[in-house]
Structure 1
Amino acid sequence: MSAHESEWTLRRLHAGELALSDAARVRAHAASCTLCGGVLRGIESNQTHFEQEHPYERFEAGVARALERRQRLEAVKPMPRRWVTTAMALAASVLVVVLARPLLQQGPGWDRSKGNGDVAELRIGGGPGPQREARPDTPEALEPGERVMLGYKAGTHRYVAAVSVDAIGEVTPLHPESGTSAPVEPGSDVRWLQGSWELTGSGAERVVLVLSDEPFSVESLVDAARRAFASANGDVARMPSLAVPGAQTHWVLLKP
């Protein structure tokens, strides 16, 4: 009897990310395997339910408001060096995501758990294809118009914050935008940060989510991200962990 397919492979099949030969093999296996077939049907059902409950049009007004806010902020900031024209434009909207729990063991090297019961997830959606989850250990290519959303289950930690760093070292606080790290929402389910983000421009962008026991300032997180970028000689894809307390998860996204 052949081995079961991982949920990650089945999600890639559903998203149309597998090569034709691999897709045919995995689909044939799922058709003959009760367990894998059930997981694939669950993925398809969850996607259909989400799109019915949260149509894309609901987010457009939030994106427009975020763009206006970003433009107002840029208008009062000093102009950066002339080569910063490719810097990220950040658009936020309110988005709530309901995900099915994993039903099969994930592929090697992919583990949402960060210890102490922590879980971190980055979800991509809003484009022409179905939503998908990015792996922390593998750069993920974005399609034009796609947005990202961040989720967590805090375990024993009590505070959460997130930032992004683009290819020229521009650091943007994602959540919260200022002040100190936010209190986590308790519960056994994954909690999603209030908003989704569209990362524009081109090149790689690193997104970092931090869960900590004690609050820390957003400014210190931004400074730590800048130091990590400098220590990687300006290569955002090779940045080390940030010098802040707590458990952190990194994703590298490749913008079109």
Structure 2
Amino acid sequence: MNPPDFGALRTGRPDCPSDFTLDRLHAGELPKEDTLKAERHVAGCVECGARMTERRAGFGAIEGVDPRVMLARIRTGLDKPAPLPERLLGWLRQRSAPFAAAAAAAVVLLVVSTQQVRPPENRAKGSLALHVFRFAGDHSEETVSGGAFKPGDRLRFVVDLPAEGHVTVLGVESSGALYTAWPFEPGVQTRFAEGTGIALPGAVSLDEKPGRETLYLVHCPVEVGPPNCTSQGAIAAPVCPAGCVTTPFILVKAP
């Protein structure tokens, strides 16, 4: 029996990249020349742009599926496999009906092996996103919201922005205290154009305080400027000027 040809699965026009190609583009697995070709196509194709948006949103793109619950089930229930939610199965069937079961298994394996799930609170699908990378030796690797961190971990931030505007990363400690995680000092350029994968310069080291902290990427329109936000407690997003939007990333620091 021949294995299914995942490279042939596609939506859109015949000249659009296959779903497998877009998956590899999202995972950073394509050769440089193929990456540039796929990125150029996605930039000029409305439908493929939407397909990439779904991939970046992960489980957050599926209505009724909470990515945090899915990841928790996967982490704690590998010895007792549970059926996937019906909404998730329906979403998979729509995109590749002949291979729905294989695709479902691939999605679960992707979450376990790459930990790409991010909570979707306070952001529209495929728009504002905060990616947190942790330095490990001579490279950095992307982390997952809600994961464990240690005092002294060095982090850098990469953001996806739906429009030009000002960017700030704020942190809320378990006590509710608000602090600025980025920029690190006054005078740093905080205005960026619309785009994905925008690296914020510099890195931050986590302090010795254990417990849960939440980072919030704050994005404000150009006319608002860098925001002046106030804390609303440990489990609530800070209040920022009208027009600004936020998206969270949870850190759980070990003692």
Q: TM-score, normalised by structure 2?
A: 0.48
Q: Report 1 or 2 for greater relative contact order, CA contacts < 8 Å, sequence distance ≥ 6.
A: 1
Q: TM-score, normalised by structure 1?
A: 0.47
